[in-house]
A and B are shown apart, each in its own frame.
Chain A
Amino acid sequence: MIQNTVRSETWLWLAQRTSAVVLAVCIAVHLTTMIIAMQGGVSTAEIAGRISGNPMWLVFYGIFLMAVAIHAPIGMRTVLLESTSLSAKRVGLLTMLLGLFVFVLGVRTILGLYQMVPAS
């Protein structure tokens, strides 16, 4: 039992660090893209024109989203375990729901943007 807990904690630690490395690259790209995009003004048409039909952005945001959906719940799990009196089981459930929610919302958004027909 204790061995299982230690093992899962190790996996969570590894997943947190691996996703962090992926996120470091993704966030640098994201911030740069946003600063460039803002110069021409961000609008629905601009977002659609940038992303729709572009497989490179689809893959990039897919990887970005997966890393976020792994990293954020594990981080929140640590915070909640350390600073609330909630049980580990409840914290696990809550943060798993957060990850799932972010993932589903993100997939819908990314696929929607990719398939969007840019306004001419």
Chain B
Amino acid sequence: MKQTHRNHPTYWAFLLHRISGVLLAIFIPVHLYVLSLAVTDGALLDEFLRWSSTPIVKLMETGMVVMLAAHLTGGLRLLGLEFLGWVSWQKTMVALSVGISLAIGLVFLLNAD
């Protein structure tokens, strides 16, 4: 049987929110650990930051920024849905959330040193 309920922008929005959330939950402890190197081993952190300015790592970092922005904008959509009520333009909200997230990723990438 074809699962038509899955072929809908808000289903993909749900999936994106879930995937970005799990990725962030894995990323945050690593991020905090790396940041703690500033206190315990500054030279090692500087070495890490030099490595992270290589294009491939910058791209991965940008991907993480897009995930964060997507979780933020998608989350705002959900908060609006739960507290302000249903609106007929849910698909537009999904499109806006994806568009804003990609734009934030682009601004990040363009400013990356």
Interface residues of A (CB under 8 A from B): 17, 20-21, 23-24, 27-28, 31, 34-35, 38-39, 41-45, 47-48, 68, 72, 75-76, 79, 98, 101-102, 105-106, 108-109, 112-113, 116, 119
Contact = CB atoms under 8 A, between A and B. Distances in A.
> Chain B: interface secondary structure?
helix
A89 to B, nearest CB: 20
B98 interface: no
Nearest to B29: A102
A105 B30 CA distance: 10
Interface stretch (B2-10, B42-50, B89-97): B42-50
B46 A43 contact: yes
B84 interface: no
Tell me the interface secondary structure of chain A in the complex: helix
B104 A31 contact: yes
B72 A28 contact: yes
Contacts of A23: 72, 75
A95 to B, nearest CB: 9
Interface in B26-77: 28-29, 32-33, 35-40, 42-43, 45-46, 49, 65, 68-69, 72, 75-76
Contacts of B87: none
A26 to B, nearest CB: 10
A48 B72 contact: no
A64 B74 CA distance: 19
B76 A24 contact: yes
Contacts of B32: 102, 105-106, 109
Contacts of A24: 72, 75-76, 79
